[in-house]
Amino acid sequence: MRILLMGSPNVGKSVIFTRLTGVNVITSNYPGTTVEYTKGTMRYRGEPVEVVDAPGTYSLDPTSRAEEVAVAMVENADLIINVVDATNLERSLNLTLDLIRTGKPLIIALNLWDEAKHKGIKIDVKQLEEILDVPCVPTCAVTGEGIKELVSRLDEARPSEFTYQDKWETIGQIVSQVQQVTHRHHTIWERLADASVRPFTGIPIALIVLYLSFRLIRLIGESLISFVFDPLFERLWAPLMLKLSALLGGSGLLHGILIGELIDGKIEFMESMGLLTTGLYVPFAAVLPYIFAFYLVLSLLEDSGYLPRLAVLMDTFMHRLGLHGLGIIPMLLGLGCNVPGSLSTRILETRRERFIAATIMAIAVPCMAQIAMIVGLVGKYGAKGLGTVFGTLFIIWVGLGALLNRILKGESPEIFVDIPPYRVPYMKAVAKKVWMRVKWFLKEAVPFVLLGVFIVNVLYTLGIIQLMGRLAAPIVTGLFGLPKETVGALLIGFLRKDVAVGMLVPLGLTLRQLIIASVILAIYFPCVATFTTLARELGLKDMLKSVAIMITLTIIVGTLLNLILPR
């Protein structure tokens, strides 16, 4: 049996899904698409049944690829739970009436019931049941109110015999019969919500929120590294690696692959470049803490209702880059990992928008793993180093977006997004979301890190990197002012950019060279996981155009930095 959760965006559908299912949920791509959906299991009639959280949709007349997937899922559903926003009944009933016409067994969850009461909205639930001819259950997913009743009444779900002619006229009649709204004063949260989307107050709020977010990310990430992961590797793992090094004779091909080079007789996890040293330290100790911190903060911003407000606030600026306000979402997700950032470009309506968003994100938005490595590499120089690297990337992001907006034909449509009220995030749902994202990162990242370190060792042993260094010398050393040894990092950047940045550590580069190398590695080419994702999202033709832009921009920017930065 398959139970399908259907509802508009921002109605709390995912929180109800979390309440119904356990921790063992799966995120999959719908067959033939890159649109993700989540499924899990729950106990129903003493048996495990499948519960599917469909992408949010406003009606069964889809306007985007994600909505097309949601509509397609209806056909295979045995029972539909229609999650309705009790604070906005009129809008939500548009989808409800469409679902009634499918003839599928239906039950309605009147979610956000607590917010409706706070707003002075009263809904006659029994009368709504009688009119629609399906069970209706008030719920508050964040607190769990009504969830038990919802599950207990699943047996009552049935096809509705309600019929109508004019949809919106019918919706108006239903709302007038079952809903009463009484006057009330704005709460402090509502005043803050209004202030968040007005430019005069919203821009300072956005700057404060983003500043505090990245301060929190850095605090959590650095604390985990300093107090958890570094002690584990230094006190437990390093002694084991030294014993293994002694068993392997301290040198040789196998030693080089597994352990790497000993620095003054010690294991230096960022410099040894062995599979069991650098290969494990980079993803687990240097990158994972920041990934965890980023996705925790991002999930809190998502579930609190702030991100849609940021999209509205950024709309005018993003239009100058050829995008509407929702284009900021792929950029923020790209800061965590460019792969989900690439996938999220599907929220943009036109092919032109998706191309611009994907290209400027892949070029100028480094993932959190790469940011962590750049901070570790250049951070000791303070604002002089980090400010130059990230300032350059920001200028590229704005300049390239504005240029593509002028060159590419077409228009950027206006933003169309619902703005939910501010809510206290449901921490169980946040924890599940963070766990799924971290698990995905480890599954995708660790194999590429190990593969990258392995390839570096083999290429060095065979002398191939030295050969490529000589071939690329006119560009790498002539135009960029970098030593030929950085060619190895550029090669590995295609597999994992964070590992590539880490490979710069033992080269003894000056601050000027570190800045140039960090910027080039950020913009010259996406990692292989992002590359394949972009190829699926954009198509091969547009992906090749994007790659051509990346390579051209790398040569121009690298050369300019070499000429401009003081020696």
User: Which CATH number covers residue 95?
Assistant: 3.40.50.300
Q: Is residue 163 part of a domain?
A: yes
Same domain? For 143 and 251 the reply is: no
Q: Is residue 420 part of a domain?
A: no
pLDDT at 265: 82
Domain boundary among 133, 151, 184: 184
Same domain? For 441 and 536 the reply is: yes
For residue 61, the Cα-to-chain-centroid distance in whole angstroms is: 27
pLDDT at 52: 92
pLDDT at 142: 74
Handedness of CA 423, 427, 428, 431 (dihedral sign): positive
Same domain? For 179 and 230 the reply is: no
Q: Domain containing 48: what range?
A: 2-184
CA dist 52 and 77 (Å) reads: 9
pLDDT at 389: 92
Same domain? For 141 and 228 the reply is: no
Q: Which of 388, 379, 362 is nearest to 501 (CA)?
A: 379
Same domain? For 212 and 178 the reply is: no
Q: Is residue 471 part of a domain?
A: yes
Q: Is residue 341 part of a domain?
A: yes
pLDDT at 543: 86
Same domain? For 204 and 173 the reply is: no
Q: Is residue 67 part of a domain?
A: yes
Handedness of CA 185, 191, 194, 200 (dihedral sign): positive
pLDDT at 528: 63
Same domain? For 551 and 405 the reply is: yes
Same domain? For 124 and 233 the reply is: no
pLDDT at 101: 92
By three-state DSSP, how is residue 2 classified? strand
Same domain? For 144 and 277 the reply is: no
Q: Is residue 220 part of a domain?
A: yes
Domain boundary among 130, 160, 184: 184
Same domain? For 107 and 209 the reply is: no
pLDDT at 22: 64
Q: Is residue 192 part of a domain?
A: no
DSSP state of 1: -
Same domain? For 338 and 391 the reply is: yes
Same domain? For 404 and 274 the reply is: yes
Q: Is residue 191 part of a domain?
A: no
DSSP state of 185: P
Q: What is the mean pLDDT of each run of 10 residues along the chain (567 residues)?
A: 90 86 62 70 85 90 82 92 93 93 94 85 94 93 83 92 90 93 75 82 89 85 90 92 88 82 80 78 80 85 85 85 85 78 77 90 85 81 88 94 89 67 81 83 72 72 72 82 79 68 78 89 76 77 89 92 87
The domain tally of the chain equals 2
